[in-house]
């Protein structure tokens, strides 16, 4: 199935306000040895009356922000199976973005090492059968941190921004070098809007059933932060 596109969607059923989507597109290729799919949602508008019910924090945020979330979501992945070899899982793009607030994007390559006769064995996987080849996570903040802190702490928002950043770095000190790198990068992002990319490329694929500290150490992390202009 290629080139499936739906435009101008409006959904409202037992909801106080409608959810609207500007464009939804889908491409899918499926066989025993290959599964490739791309899905993109552009202009998903979630009113405060809907996302505010997701949690207490969301309720406080929605009351303060009082605007719909304006979201784009993407999923682009390819899985390939060759007899006698691990199934290769490539996630080219797994992302969510609010045009006004923030975004997150993950790119990664994994291997499924369990017994398999087709690519769909992946969907019955457990962590001990998955190994990570590489990964890159990019977090971008525009105004989300500022609005969230102001909604939560009002006049103390500026002080809390620094306190939270310092607390994250302090707590990471006992967890190992990789955690410190991530904490320092996250602290920079909390202090000043910008983009933070955390990348990992182990010498050999690392099994996801290992303890978290073992995985982080094996990933040989690099962290890059770029403040907004």
130 in a domain, yes or no?
no
* Pick from 66, 91, 94: nearest CA to 80: 91
Distances in whole angstroms, Cα of residue 133 to Cα of each of 74, 75, 137, 208: 22, 19, 14, 10
For the cut 90, the answer to whether the pLDDT of residue 15 exceeds it is no
Range of the domain at 113: 1-125
Co-location of 155 and 51 in the same domain: no
Per the structure, the count of domains in the chain is: 2
pTM: 0.92
- Of 99, 125, 151, which closes a domain? 125
Co-location of 109 and 173 in the same domain: no
- Helix 56-65 to helix 144-153 angle (10° resolution) is 100
- Of 65, 99, 125, which closes a domain? 125
Over residues 58-109, the pLDDT tens digits come to 998 999 999 999 999 999 999 999 999 999 999 999 999 999 999 999 999 9
Over residues 194-225, the pLDDT tens digits come to 999 999 999 999 999 999 999 999 999 999 99
Co-location of 204 and 102 in the same domain: no
């Amino acid at each position: 199935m290629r080139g499936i596109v739906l435009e101008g969607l409006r959904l409202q059923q037992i909801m106080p306000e409608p959810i609207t989507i500007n464009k939804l597109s889908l491409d899918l290729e499926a066989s025993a040895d290959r599964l490739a799919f791309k899905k993109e949602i552009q202009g998903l508008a979630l009113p405060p009356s809907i996302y505010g019910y997701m949690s207490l924090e969301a309720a406080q945020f929605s009351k303060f922000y009082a605007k719909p979330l304006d979201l784009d979501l993407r999923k682009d992945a390819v899985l390939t199976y060759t007899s006698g070899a691990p199934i290769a899982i490539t996630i080219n793009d797994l992302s969510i973005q609010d045009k006004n607030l923030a975004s997150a994007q993950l790119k990664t390559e994994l291997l499924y090492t369990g017994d398999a006769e087709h690519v769909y064995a992946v969907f019955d996987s457990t962590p001990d059968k998955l190994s990570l080849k590489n990964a890159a996570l990019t977090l971008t903040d525009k105004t989300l941190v500022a609005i969230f802190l102001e909604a939560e702490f009002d006049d103390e928002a500026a002080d809390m921004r620094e306190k939270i950043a310092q607390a994250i770095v302090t707590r990471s000190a006992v967890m190992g070098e990789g955690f410190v790198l991530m904490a320092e990068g996250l602290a920079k992002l909390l202090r000043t809007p910008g983009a933070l990319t955390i990348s990992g490329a182990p010498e050999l694929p690392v099994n996801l059933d290992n303890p978290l500290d073992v995985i982080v150490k094996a990933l040989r992390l690099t962290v890059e932060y770029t403040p907004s202009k």
